[in-house]
Amino acid sequence: MMNTNEVAFLTNLLQTPKQISIIPHRNPDGDALGSSLALYHVLKKLNHTVKVISPNDFPDFIAWLPSANEVEIFERTPLPCETFLKESDVIFTLDFNALHRTGDVMGSFLSTLSNDFVLIDHHQMPDQYAKITVSDTSFGSTCELLYRFLQQLQLDQFIDKDSATCIYTGIVTDSGSFKFLKTTGDTHRVVANLIDLGVDNPYVHSKLFNTNSYNRLQLLGRALQKLKVLPQHQTAYTSLSQRDLYDFNYQKGDTEGIVNYGLSIKGINFAAIFIENRDEGIVKISFRSEGNFDVNEFARTYFNGGGHINAAGGKSFTSLNDTIAYFEKVLNDINKQ
């Protein structure tokens, strides 16, 4: 966490009303948007002028979060967002630790700013762009880390039902509903405090997991039909082409969680999904693992990505078929070592 000087700097900064920007990563998930909105609610109670500025839009399954309708989308209105960012006394970046994670355009703009940045994140190998870096990979979510950050600043007294709901959502989504390895007793103690503050946990789970569209379920069916198992590598993977996405009227968030189905197969400890995106000219990849197989290192080494030990992402600039062929070649090469 923070040292004494960093706590003193932020305590002094936040004592009087300031203009503050909060940024999640591109394609924000429950942890990114949840932590951003939780901090937004707390800072608003301290009479700061605050905006959450997301690089791009977020999926419907987290659009119900308290004050999500107040989030500014950089891609839609870049000039007003740039003006607010330039004039901000401090910029918080949540759930990412490298400015390029906001996208090429926004990342390039942020790199030109001389404002003070505060980084709060739980991913490995943070870049050195922030005045204050709160980075701890032992936490299963940025939301849980944010809760401890607020405690250290003695601001947890300002967490209400809305901010608690946002923090709870990020913990739920990044912990796989409390089943991932980094879910600790402390995680559950934080969650107990959040529920005591009024979080309606059945409602949150329903909004996150029980709002599938018919088309999303059909898309899941297509992905499961294309699932391939490589028992010699204890690996399963699937893919979705641009045609698959068109066939089922793909909406942002529809592929969330599909990669985890591969891990549900007995004897499989590594799963991947390859999703073609012709608009961006890339294949987006998600990796998941169980046990000691480090998908963060795998993604960094072979697929221009990174993340956590058991959950990471990457991308490829070749065709979908060539990407999958390369993936299988890498597995074969690793197996020979």
Region 80-101: mean pLDDT is 97
Q: How far apart are CA 39 and CA 23, in angstroms?
A: 11
Asked if 14 contacts 44 with a C-beta cutoff of 8 angstroms, the reply is no
Strands in the chain per DSSP E = 19-23, 49-54, 72-73, 90-94, 116-121, 132-135, 228-230, 235-240, 270-277, 282-289, 306-307, 311-316
Pairing of strands 282-289, 270-277: antiparallel
Q: How far apart are CA 145 and CA 98, in angstroms?
A: 18
User: Taking a C-beta distance cutoff of 8 angstroms, is the pair 12, 18 a contact?
Assistant: no
Give 12-71 pLDDT, tens digit per residue: 999 999 999 999 999 999 999 999 999 999 999 999 999 999 999 999 999 999 999 999
Q: Say yes or no to pLDDT of 291 above 90.
A: no
DSSP-based three-state secondary structure for 240: strand
Q: What pLDDT, in 10s, does the model give residues 136-173?
A: 999 999 999 999 999 999 999 999 999 999 999 999 99
- Range 264-271 average pLDDT: 96
Q: What amino acid occupies position 270?
A: F
Report field, pTM of the whole predicted structure over 0.85: yes
